[in-house]
Every structure is written in C-alpha cells, then in structure tokens.
C-alpha cells in the first residue's frame, strides 16, 4: 500500500510516500526559516501563503523521489489538527482535491499522533505501552501510549511550549529563528551553572510550565544590560540546563508512577543535544529503554503522518470530503 501524506501544520511544507507502513520512499520538507527569521517567530499569514506556493512542488518532489506518479497512490493522508489554521487548510484542501480526483480514500491524522508514533519510523521493534514526551514549538505533553491510535495525555504545558520558550529566549538574546537549534549550539560553549533560573515543576501533576523561566531570563537580560558573547552563551546554557532538568525529571516521575520503562521523546525539541544526553543518562542509569528519533524525524515531517495514516487506513478509519482543518486537538 502506497500512502501519500501531507503536513503543513506550522511553517514546514512536507510530503512523504510510505510503502506498506515501513519503507519511507520519500520525505520532503521545505522549511520557511528565512521568511520568519526577520520577525524572530512565525507570521501565520506568511506561513500559509508560502505553503500555497510550495505544496505542488513539494508533493511532486515526493512522488519523483519515490519514482511514482499520483496513479500509484492508494491512500492520501493529511494532518488536519492541531496547528495554524491557515497553514493546515492548505494541505487539507489539497489532500481532499487529490483524493476526489483520484477517487482514493482519505485519512485525517492528528499532528501530535504523528510525533507520538514517529519513533516507529526507525525503531520497528517498539513494544506497547510506552511513555512519550512530545516537546515541540507548539506543544509539550507527556503521553501514555497503549497501542496505535490509543494514547492518554498524562500532562501538558499550562502556558508556553518548551520550543516556544527556546524561540522566545533566542529572540531576547538577539538571535535568529528557530531559536532552539541556535541556543543548543550556543549553550555548548557556555557555563550551565552561571545563572540559577527557576525550574517550573508544577508539583503533584505531570503538567509543565515554561513561562516563569522565560520571564526570569527576560529580567536577567534587563539587569545585565550589556550582553557579551560569553554572557549569551552562559544564559543559553543555564536556560537549557533548567528546562531539560524539568523535562527529564517529569518523564522519570511518570516512569515511577506508571511502572512503564519504555520511553520515547519526540517533536522538534527532541533534537536538542542536552535533552538527548540527559535522557540517555537516565535510561542507562535506571535500565530504561529509550527511543529517540533521528533529527530529521524530530522536527515536522510528513513521514510520521504517513505512518499514522497507514494504521488508520488498515483500520479503515477513513474521512470523507467534509473533512475540515482545526487549530485545536480533536481527539
């Protein structure tokens, strides 16, 4: 079965062709970093306009790379929620048009489910249940994953997503967008103990909070006035150390609470070198199984949407052409 999947939930235009649920024949991602960098954050209207421009070339490239044509596609999968509504609408309308023109089934995929199951793209041996931390630019949630399309949210951020906090701290430091990878690099040269930023643990819950640390960084920058490169490196390292401490501690708490010793970390922030290192340390210290997607499957990509689409199609959970995009999660 050939699945063509599309994702335009945020600022990446992506299309992928997946064969029989495991062979990734193509996974094309066109990012918009250059457009949003000058605003140090995503401008939704510019994002949707660029998706309109890119959707046809990206889908064509995905088909060409897979050495297929639209006629070879059996199912069309598309991210319908959550995300930026204008962006989501581009691929939802496009996917519906292809499904209608080809008279092929359509499946609607939740973007967060894409991240939750993205670990299967490279680790075919994962066993259920597992815990999954999804840390991205729009979401930070911890899930108990029981089966395909069966998962329960244990906790979520009460304010900013951790990736959003990275992007905003980068902006405060006068750095470009997306801020996560830039701070990751900057932090490697800094002293993680230079500043003691607050860790928002949100006790007695699996929820997260990152607005406090973001504000603490803002106040520290205002207090310091002049920022040398080494001070920026120290701020980046101390901020990163604090947020990764929180993420790792929450995951550890969930393992103890649920007794589930298999952990996956997904989403753009799962690309962070410090988070990966700390999670690996936790897993090897305690004997937990850890699944980390490689960097290209951490950030937004349509291959993860194709994978979930495959399982929905196998279960015959099709959508009709009344499918609409939604900015919030409809589970």
| Interface contacts to ligand KG4, rule CB under 6 A | 10, 136-138, 163-164, 166-167, 178-181, 184, 267-269, 271-272, 299-300
Q: Taking CB within 5 to 8 Å according to partner kind, which of Zn ion, ligand KG4, none is near residue 272?
A: ligand KG4
Query: In angstroms, what CA-CA distances link 284 with 127, 246, 262, 277?
Result: 18, 18, 12, 11
In whole angstroms, the minimum distance from the beta carbon of 326 to Zn ion comes to: 15
Q: Taking CB within 5 to 8 Å according to partner kind, which of ligand KG4, Zn ion, none is near residue 163?
A: ligand KG4
How far apart CA 302 and CA 295 sit, in angstroms, is: 14
Using the minimum distance from each CB to ligand KG4, give the nearer residue, 5 or 63: 5
How far apart CA 9 and CA 87 sit, in angstroms, is: 6
Using the minimum distance from each CB to Zn ion, give the nearer residue, 243 or 260: 243
Using the minimum distance from each CB to ligand KG4, give the nearer residue, 36 or 96: 36
Helix (H, G, I), strand (E, B) or coil at 259: coil
The closest alpha carbon to 95, from 208, 210, 9, belongs to: 9
Q: Which two tokens stand for residue 321?
A: 């052409």
Other residues' Cβ atoms within 10 Å of the Cβ of residue 67? 10
Using the minimum distance from each CB to ligand KG4, give the nearer residue, 91 or 272: 272
Using the minimum distance from each CB to Zn ion, give the nearer residue, 109 or 217: 109
Q: β-pairing, 75-81 with 2-7?
A: parallel
Using the minimum distance from each CB to ligand KG4, give the nearer residue, 42 or 254: 42
300 binds Zn ion (CB under 5 A): yes
7 binds Zn ion (CB under 5 A): no
Using the minimum distance from each CB to ligand KG4, give the nearer residue, 63 or 177: 177
Look at the chain and count its residues: 331
Candidates 118, 136, 233, 241; binder of Zn ion (CB under 5 A) is 136
* Sign of CA pseudo-dihedral 146, 18, 266, 115: negative
In whole angstroms, the minimum distance from the beta carbon of 274 to ligand KG4 comes to: 8
Q: Taking CB within 5 to 8 Å according to partner kind, which of Zn ion, ligand KG4, none is near residue 269?
A: ligand KG4
How far apart CA 322 and CA 119 sit, in angstroms, is: 31
Using the minimum distance from each CB to ligand KG4, give the nearer residue, 86 or 138: 138
First to last CA, the chain: 26
Q: Taking CB within 5 to 8 Å according to partner kind, which of ligand KG4, Zn ion, none is near residue 181?
A: ligand KG4
In whole angstroms, the minimum distance from the beta carbon of 11 to ligand KG4 comes to: 8
In whole angstroms, the minimum distance from the beta carbon of 93 to Zn ion comes to: 20
In whole angstroms, the minimum distance from the beta carbon of 179 to ligand KG4 comes to: 5
For the purposes of burial, counting CB atoms within 10 Å of the CB of 60, is it exposed (0-12), middle (13-18) or buried (19 or more)?
middle
Q: Taking CB within 5 to 8 Å according to partner kind, which of ligand KG4, Zn ion, none is near residue 118?
A: none
In whole angstroms, the minimum distance from the beta carbon of 211 to ligand KG4 comes to: 15
How far apart CA 199 and CA 208 sit, in angstroms, is: 10
Query: In angstroms, what CA-CA distances link 56 with 53, 91, 94, 148?
Result: 7, 10, 9, 30
In whole angstroms, the minimum distance from the beta carbon of 302 to Zn ion comes to: 11
Q: Show the site string, 246-285: x = touches Zn ion by CB under 5 A, - = not.
A: ----------------------------------------
Q: Which residues contact 209 (CB under 8 A, 6 or more apart)?
A: 157, 158, 159, 160, 200, 202
Q: Which two tokens stand for residue 140?
A: 């930070």
The closest alpha carbon to 290, from 299, 280, 298, belongs to: 280
Q: Give the interface with Zn ion as residue ranges (CB under 5 A).
A: 136, 300
């Amino acid at each position: 079965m050939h699945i063509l999947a599309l994702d335009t939930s945020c600022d990446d235009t992506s299309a992928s062709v997946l064969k029989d649920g495991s062979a990734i024949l193509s996974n094309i991602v066109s990012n918009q970093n250059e457009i949003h960098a000058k605003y140090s954050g995503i401008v939704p209207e510019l994002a949707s306009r660029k998706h309109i421009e890119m959707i046809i070339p990206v889908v064509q490239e995905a088909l060409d790379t897979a050495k297929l044509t639209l006629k070879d596609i059996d199912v069309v999968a598309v991210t319908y929620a959550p995300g930026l509504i204008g962006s989501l609408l581009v691929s939802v309308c496009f996917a519906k048009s292809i499904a209608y023109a080809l008279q092929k089934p359509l499946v609607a995929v939740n973007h967060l489910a894409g991240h939750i199951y993205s670990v299967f793209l490279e680790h075919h041996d994962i066993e259920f249940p597992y815990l999954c931390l999804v840390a991205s630019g729009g979401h930070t949630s911890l899930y108990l994953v029981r089966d395909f399309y069966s998962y329960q949210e244990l906790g979520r951020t009460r304010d900013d997503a951790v990736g959003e906090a990275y992007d905003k701290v980068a902006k405060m430091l006068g750095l470009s967008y997306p801020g996560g990878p830039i701070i990751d690099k900057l932090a490697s040269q800094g002293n993680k103990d230079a500043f003691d930023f607050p860790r928002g643990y949100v006790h007695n819950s699996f929820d997260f909070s990152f607005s406090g640390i973001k504000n603490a960084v803002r106040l520290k920058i205002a207090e310091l006035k002049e920022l040398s490169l080494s001070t920026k490196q120290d701020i980046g390292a101390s901020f990163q150390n604090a947020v990764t401490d929180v993420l790792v501690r929450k995951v550890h708490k969930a393992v103890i609470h649920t007794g589930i010793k298999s952990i996956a970390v997904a989403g753009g922030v799962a690309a962070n070198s410090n988070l990966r290192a700390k999670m690996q340390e936790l897993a090897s210290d305690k004997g937990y199984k850890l699944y980390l997607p490689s960097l290209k499957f951490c950030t937004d990509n349509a291959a993860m949407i194709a994978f979930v689409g495959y399982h929905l199609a196998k279960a015959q959970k099709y959508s009709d052409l009344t499918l609409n995009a939604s900015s919030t999660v409809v589970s």
